[in-house]
């Protein structure tokens, strides 16, 4: 292993261990040995996750031309025949005859040796493996009762195109946004939250007049990249990757991924696809229901084209987590700090009484009670103040407010900035205003 990849592995190990220790992410069913490819979000994790999803939701639906939707996970099985998932949503899979390890063919090393046992040319013929989870509705488990756990949220949007358009009195061009769970029975899960079997997506399907798809594609591509940057993700770790003609999905005319440079390399966090009229056309064919939209202004009927922005909420969460992680060499120690953008940090501010006497805890509690009306605030009076700062650095809390003896004289507190570690003094009546300014809420 090269020095760089050893270093990268170490960073991932540190992030995973901090995620567990501080309650961002736990392995699912841990006491039973864990369930591969499934994770649970702990107290800090669920706050960070909700903040990311809320920001996405607001960036989409605080516009006049995007509506929200929350469709069911189980859908009519014909949906997945129409969408092409029954036929095409497969990965080529091989087994090692020697050690029985299972791989996606496209992930095998060029050497042809089994990564697990080192056996050479010991693989079975490649066969297609469908990634959709199947289950049954009702008590009878036969082919007529098969349903699938959705592998993407997009189809629920296509099926509701006319419902939403009519109910919300929208006109093309307009979009429908949705956040929800998706399931893929991945052959190999790997890299923590990067490839899991249960995950969340944040998808927006934008319906446009054919011919106007290319310019809308460019527009959404830029918007989505900017969203990650606005939430503080390092610009030099973000890039576009265009799919070549032989990489394009069966439905796509153009596709760009937004990739993030994880410690283990560049990986897709979002796909922006021009899906043309493929999906609506397929649903027209399979359901027998007309999917043509009447454009009053143009006085013509057409099946709209779709520009899709499909972000992995869980993968983005992991990118935000990795990107925030930093270790800084201070004079006497190494400080671990999660540099989350203040808008997505799980805890907005922490409040500390410097010592547990002279009315300082009471004063601190009053400030907490006041701030809690608007913010997630953490009260901590345990241990030396330096250690309390470190605990909040690891949680990524942007501001720590300390009540000291001067507070009791002149009602001023110190506010310490997580990143610069600088402290300023403000009057207690100005704390909320200060936070509001910095947190944008
Ligand atoms: P990949 O090639 O990495 O499997 P994909 O091209 O199949 O991804 P899409 O179908 O475009 O991915 O899904 C959109 C987004 O959903 C991806 O950008 C990713 O963020 C997320 N995603 C897809 N599969 C998984 C998974 N198994 N675990 C976590 N997130 C996923």
Token pair in block for residue 78: 């014909």
Is CATH 3.40.50.800 what the domain over 347-439 is classified as, yes or no?
Answer: yes
- Tell me which residue has its CA closest to atom 29 in ligand 1: 195
- Tell me which residue has its CA closest to atom 12 in ligand 1: 271
| DSSP result, 223-248 | HHHHHHHHTT--GGGEEEEEPPTTT-
Q: Probe ligand 1: pick from 256, 264, 268, max atoms within 8 Å of CB?
A: 268
Residue ranges of the domains in the chain?
3-77+132-322, 90-130, 347-439
Atom of ligand 1 nearest to the CA of 203: 14
Token pair in block for residue 135: 């289950």
Residues 6+ apart with CB under 8 A from 317: 45, 48, 49, 52, 193
Centroid of ligand 1 to alpha carbon of 167 (angstroms): 31
Centroid of ligand 1 to alpha carbon of 260 (angstroms): 13
Centroid of ligand 1 to alpha carbon of 182 (angstroms): 10
Centroid of ligand 1 to alpha carbon of 410 (angstroms): 55
Centroid of ligand 1 to alpha carbon of 287 (angstroms): 27
What is the topology classification, in CATH, of domain 3-77+132-322? BirA Bifunctional Protein; domain 2 (3.30.930)
> Closest by alpha carbon to 273, among 293, 290, 258?
258
Q: Residue 325: left (phi > 0), alpha (psi -120 to 50), or beta?
A: beta
Distance of CA 212 to the CA centre of its chain: 29
- Tell me which residue has its CA closest to atom 3 in ligand 1: 268
Place of tokens 């592995």: 9
Q: What is the pLDDT along the chain (441 residues), one digit of tens a residue?
A: 677 888 888 999 999 999 999 999 999 999 999 999 999 999 999 999 999 999 999 999 999 999 999 999 999 999 999 999 999 999 999 999 999 888 898 888 888 889 889 888 889 999 999 999 999 999 888 888 999 999 999 999 999 999 999 999 999 999 999 999 999 999 988 899 999 999 999 999 999 999 999 999 999 999 999 999 999 999 999 999 999 988 898 889 999 999 999 999 999 999 999 999 999 999 999 999 999 999 999 999 999 999 999 999 999 999 999 999 999 999 989 999 999 999 999 999 999 999 999 999 999 999 999 999 999 999 999 999 999 999 999 999 999 999 999 999 999 999 999 999 999 999 999 999 999 999 988
Q: Where are the alpha helices (DSSP H) in 150-273?
A: 154-159, 161-167, 213-230
d(CA 372, CA 58): 22
Centroid of ligand 1 to alpha carbon of 311 (angstroms): 8
| Torsion (CA) 184, 21, 379, 435 in degrees, nearest 10 | -50
- β-strands 39-41, 25-27: how paired? antiparallel
- Tell me which residue has its CA closest to atom 26 in ligand 1: 195
| Torsion (CA) 16, 19, 22, 25 in degrees, nearest 10 | -130
Atom of ligand 1 nearest to the CA of 310: 14
Centroid of ligand 1 to alpha carbon of 429 (angstroms): 47
- Tell me which residue has its CA closest to atom 20 in ligand 1: 312
> Closest by alpha carbon to 251, among 280, 216, 229, 230?
280
Centroid of ligand 1 to alpha carbon of 59 (angstroms): 21
pLDDT of amino acid 241: 98
Q: Probe ligand 1: pick from 41, 315, 320, 321, max atoms within 8 Å of CB?
A: 315
Residues with CB under 6 A from ligand 1: 152, 184, 186, 195-196, 199, 201, 268-271, 310, 312, 314-315
Centroid of ligand 1 to alpha carbon of 270 (angstroms): 7
- Tell me which residue has its CA closest to atom 16 in ligand 1: 312
Task: Give the end-to-end CA distance of the chain in Å, rounded to a whole number.
Answer: 46
d(CA 224, CA 305): 19
Q: Probe ligand 1: pick from 157, 199, 242, max atoms within 8 Å of CB?
A: 199
d(CA 20, CA 18): 5
pLDDT of amino acid 185: 96
Residues 6+ apart with CB under 8 A from 246: none
Centroid of ligand 1 to alpha carbon of 312 (angstroms): 6
pLDDT of amino acid 107: 82
Token pair in block for residue 383: 């241990």
Centroid of ligand 1 to alpha carbon of 224 (angstroms): 16
Token pair in block for residue 120: 């050479």
Place of tokens 């990143």: 419
């Amino acid at each position: 292993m090269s020095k760089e990849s050893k270093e990268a592995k170490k960073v991932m190990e540190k992030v995973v261990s901090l995620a567990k220790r501080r309650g961002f992410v736990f392995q699912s069913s841990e006491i039973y040995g864990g369930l591969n490819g499934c994770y649970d979000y702990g107290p800090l994790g669920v706050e960070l996750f909700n903040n990311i999803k809320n920001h996405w939701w607001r960036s989409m639906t605080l516009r006049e031309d995007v509506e929200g939707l929350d469709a069911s996970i189980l859908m009519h099985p014909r949906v997945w025949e129409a969408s092409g998932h029954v036929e095409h949503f497969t990965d080529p899979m091989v087994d090692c005859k020697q050690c029985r390890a299972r791989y996606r063919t496209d992930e095998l090393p060029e050497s042809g040796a089994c990564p697990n046992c080192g056996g050479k040319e010991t693989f079975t013929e490649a066969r297609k493996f469908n990634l959709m989870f199947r289950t049954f509705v009702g008590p009878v488990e036969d082919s007529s009762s098969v349903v699938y756990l959705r592998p993407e949220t997009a189809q629920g949007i296509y099926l509701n195109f006319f419902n939403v358009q009519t109910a919300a009195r929208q006109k093309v061009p307009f979009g429908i946004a949705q956040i929800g769970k998706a399931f893929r029975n991945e052959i190999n899960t790997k890299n923590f939250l990067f490839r899991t079997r249960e995950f969340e997506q944040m998808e927006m399907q934008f319906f446009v007049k054919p011919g106007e798809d290319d310019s809308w594609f460019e527009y959404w591509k830029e918007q989505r990249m900017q969203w990650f940057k606005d939430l503080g993700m390092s610009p030099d770790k973000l890039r576009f990757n265009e799919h070549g003609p032989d990489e394009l999905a069966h439905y796509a005319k153009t596709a760009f991924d937004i990739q993030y440079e994880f410690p283990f390399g560049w990986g897709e966090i979002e796909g922006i696809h021009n899906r043309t009229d493929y999906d609506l056309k397929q649903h027209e064919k399979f359901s027998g229901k007309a999917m043509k939209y009447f454009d009053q202004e143009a006085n013509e009927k057409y099946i709209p084209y779709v520009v899709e922005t499909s972000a992995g909420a869980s993968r983005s969460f992991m990118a935000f987590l990795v990107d925030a992680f930093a270790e800084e060499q201070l004079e006497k120690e190494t400080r671990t700090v999660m540099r989350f953008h203040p808008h997505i940090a799980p805890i907005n501010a922490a409040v500390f009484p410097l010592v547990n006497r002279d009315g300082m805890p009471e004063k601190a509690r009053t400030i907490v009670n006041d701030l809690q009306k608007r913010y997630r605030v953490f009260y901590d009076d345990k241990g030396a103040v330096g250690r309390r700062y470190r605990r909040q650095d690891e949680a990524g809390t942007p501001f720590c407010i300390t009540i000291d003896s001067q507070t009791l004289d002149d009602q001023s507190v110190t506010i310490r900035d997580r990143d610069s570690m600088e402290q300023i003094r403000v009057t207690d009546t100005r704390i909320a205003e200060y936070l509001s300014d910095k947190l944008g809420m």
